[in-house]
Amino acid sequence: MKKTGAQILLECLKREGVEVIFNYPGGAILPVNDELSRWDFKMILVRHEQGAVHAADGYARASGKAGVCIVTSGPGATNTVTGLATAFMDSVPVVVITGQVSTPLIGNDAFQEADIVGITRPCTKYNYLVTDVRDLATIVREAFYIAGSGRPGPVLVDLPKDIASGVTEFKYPQEVHIRGYQPTLDGHMQQIKRALNLMLKAHRPVIYAGGGVITAGAAQELTKIAEMLNIPVTTTLMGLGGFPGTHPLSLGMLGMHGTYRANMAVTDCDLLLAVGARFDDRVTGKIDAFAPKAEKIHIDIDPTSISKNVRVDVPIVGDCKRILSKMFALLQEEKGLDEHQRSLGPWHEQIEKWKNTHRLTYHQDEVIKPQYVIERIYEMTKGEAVITTEVGQNQMWTAQYYLFDHPRTLLTSGGLGTMGYGFPAAIGAQVAFPERTVIDIAGDGSIQMNIQELATAVQYKLPVKVAILNNGYLGMVRQWQELFYERRYSMTHIGNISPDFVKLAEAYGAMGLRATRPDEVVPVIREALRTPLPVLMDFVVEPEEGVYPMVPAGEAIDRMLLV
Amino acid sequence: MLHTINVLVENEFGVLARVAGLFSGRGFNIESLSVAETLDPKVSVMTIVTRGDDQVLEQITKQLNKLVCVIKVMDLVGKEYVAREMVLIKVAAKPETRAEILSIADIFRGKVVDVSPKSYTIEVTGDEEKIKAFLELLKPMGIKEMARTGRVALMRG
A198 and A158, same domain (yes or no): no
Q: What is the pLDDT of residues B75-106, one digit of tens each?
A: 999 899 999 999 999 999 999 999 999 999 99
List, in order, residues 6 or more apart from A329 with CB less than 8 Å away.
Answer: none
A165 and A258, same domain (yes or no): no
A197 and A48, same domain (yes or no): no
Single out the residue in B14, B49, B75 at which a domain terminates: B75
A56 and A114, same domain (yes or no): yes
Q: What is the pLDDT of residues A181-230, one digit of tens each?
A: 999 999 999 999 999 999 999 999 999 999 999 999 999 999 999 999 99
Q: Which domain holds residue A53?
A: 2-169
Q: Is the pLDDT at A440 greater than 90, yes or no?
A: yes
Cα–Cα distance for residue pair A409/A63, rounded to 1 Å: 10
Q: Which domain holds residue B120?
A: 82-155
Answer yes or no: pTM beyond 0.90.
Answer: yes
A111 and A255, same domain (yes or no): no
Burial (CB count <10 Å: 0-12, 13-18, 19+), residue B15: buried
B92 and B144, same domain (yes or no): yes
B12 and B69, same domain (yes or no): yes
What pLDDT, on a 0 to 100 scale, did the predictor assign at position A337?
A: 87
Active site residue A228: no
Q: What is the CATH number of the domain that holds A425?
A: 3.40.50.970
> Does A117 lie at the interface with B, CB-CB under 8 angstroms?
yes
A208 and A122, same domain (yes or no): no
Q: Is the pLDDT at B1 greater than 90, yes or no?
A: no
> Does B92 lie at the interface with A, CB-CB under 8 angstroms?
no
The total domain count for chain B is 2
> What does the pLDDT average to over A102-131?
98
Q: What is the pLDDT of residues A515-527, one digit of tens each?
A: 999 999 999 999 9
CB contact under 8 A, B66 and A302: yes
A396 and A510, same domain (yes or no): yes
> What does the pLDDT average to over A486-504?
95
What pLDDT, on a 0 to 100 scale, did the predictor assign at position A496?
A: 84
> Does A180 lie at the interface with B, CB-CB under 8 angstroms?
yes
Query: What's the pLDDT band for A341 if we cut at 50, 70, 90?
Result: confident
List, in order, residues 6 or more apart from A450 with CB less than 8 Å away.
Answer: A48, A50, A51, A54, A420, A421, A423, A424
Q: Is the pLDDT at A280 greater than 80, yes or no?
A: yes
B21 and B57, same domain (yes or no): yes
> What does the pLDDT average to over A249-254?
98
List, in order, residues 6 or more apart from B150 with CB less than 8 Å away.
Answer: B32, B33, B34, B47, B49, B85
Single out the residue in B75, B103, B125 at which a domain terminates: B75
Between strands B119-126 and B111-115, the pairing is antiparallel
What pLDDT, on a 0 to 100 scale, did the predictor assign at position B157?
A: 87
Q: What angle do CA A195, A196, A199 make, to 5 degrees?
A: 90
A455 and A484, same domain (yes or no): yes
Q: What is the CATH number of the domain that holds B38?
A: 3.30.70.260
A352 and A206, same domain (yes or no): yes
* Closest CB from A122, A126, A178 relative to B21: A122
Share of chain A above pLDDT 90, in %: 97
Domain contains A365: no
What pLDDT, on a 0 to 100 scale, did the predictor assign at position A335?
A: 87
> Does B70 lie at the interface with A, CB-CB under 8 angstroms?
yes
Cα–Cα distance for residue pair A164/A102, rounded to 1 Å: 9
The total domain count for chain A is 3
Tell me if A451 sits within 8 A of A507, measured CB to CB.
no
Which residue of A124, A135, A158, A181 to mutate against B (max B Cβ within 10 Å)? A181
Q: Is the pLDDT at A531 greater than 80, yes or no?
A: yes
Single out the residue in B75, B95, B113 at which a domain terminates: B75
